[in-house]
């Protein structure tokens, strides 16, 4: 996966508020640069094996996903495998989901997905799992943080 934030700004990258870090103008964001609170309109599919850049928008605009947690996996030379990686993503995203939404995942109408390191990206230093909340009924506008409160 690739790119760095300086290349993003030259190639249609998002614009962020200097103080808050919030996206104020949409663009394409390197998946390694996603922050908690970022909103995006990626079309996640089971067939997609690698994601490098995602279309981000301000959360005040309709969007399909919001990053609600970034998890850093333990350093290791060897990739732990897709099954172990996705299990950690499931477990830790569910745990973070409850605090973010204000309800347990099982009680909530919202769903989640995640980006996770692949064997290839692991070799390049990728250790980040991005947890993404979504409304299965369609696009949302605004943040879903504390939506159940």
Q: pLDDT per residue over 74-88, tens digit each?
A: 999 999 999 999 999
Mean pLDDT of the chain: 87
E strands in the chain = 15-16, 23-25, 27-30, 39-40, 53-57, 65-72, 111-115, 128-134
- State the Rg of the chain over Cα: 15
* pTM metric for this prediction: 0.86
The pairing of strands 15-16 and 27-30 is unpaired
Give the Cα separation of 34 and 123 in Å (integer). Answer: 20
What was the pLDDT predicted at 13?
79
For the cut 50, the answer to whether the pLDDT of residue 112 exceeds it is: yes
For the cut 50, the answer to whether the pLDDT of residue 8 exceeds it is: no
Tokens 């504390």, residue?
A: 146
Residue ranges of domains in the chain: 5-134
What was the pLDDT predicted at 113?
94
For the cut 90, the answer to whether the pLDDT of residue 4 exceeds it is: no
Structure tokens at 13: 């990258």
Task: Report the chain's terminal Cα–Cα distance, integer Å.
Answer: 37
Identify which of 60, 65, 3, 9 has the alpha carbon closest to the alpha carbon of residue 36: 65
- Cα separation values, 10 from 13, 15, 37, Å: 7, 11, 23
Residues 87-93, mean pLDDT to the nearest whole number: 97
Encode pLDDT of 17-71 as tens digits: 788 888 888 899 989 899 999 999 987 655 566 888 999 999 999 999 999 999 9
């Amino acid at each position: 996966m690739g790119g760095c934030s300086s290349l993003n700004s030259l190639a249609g990258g998002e614009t962020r508020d200097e103080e808050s870090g919030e996206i104020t103008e949409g663009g394409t964001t390197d998946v390694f640069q996603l922050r908690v609170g970022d909103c995006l309109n990626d079309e996640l599919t089971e067939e997609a094996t690698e994601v490098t850049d995602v279309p981000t928008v301000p959360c005040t605009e309709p969007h399909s996903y919001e990053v609600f947690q970034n998890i850093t996996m333990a350093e290791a030379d060897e990739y732990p495998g897709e099954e172990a990686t996705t299990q950690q993503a499931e477990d830790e995203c569910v745990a973070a989901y409850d605090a973010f939404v204000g309800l347990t995942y099982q009680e909530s109408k919202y769903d989640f997905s995640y980006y996770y390191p692949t064997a290839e990206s692991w070799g390049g230093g990728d250790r980040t799992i991005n947890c993404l909340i979504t409304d299965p009924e369609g696009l949302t506008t605004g943040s879903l943080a504390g939506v159940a409160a």
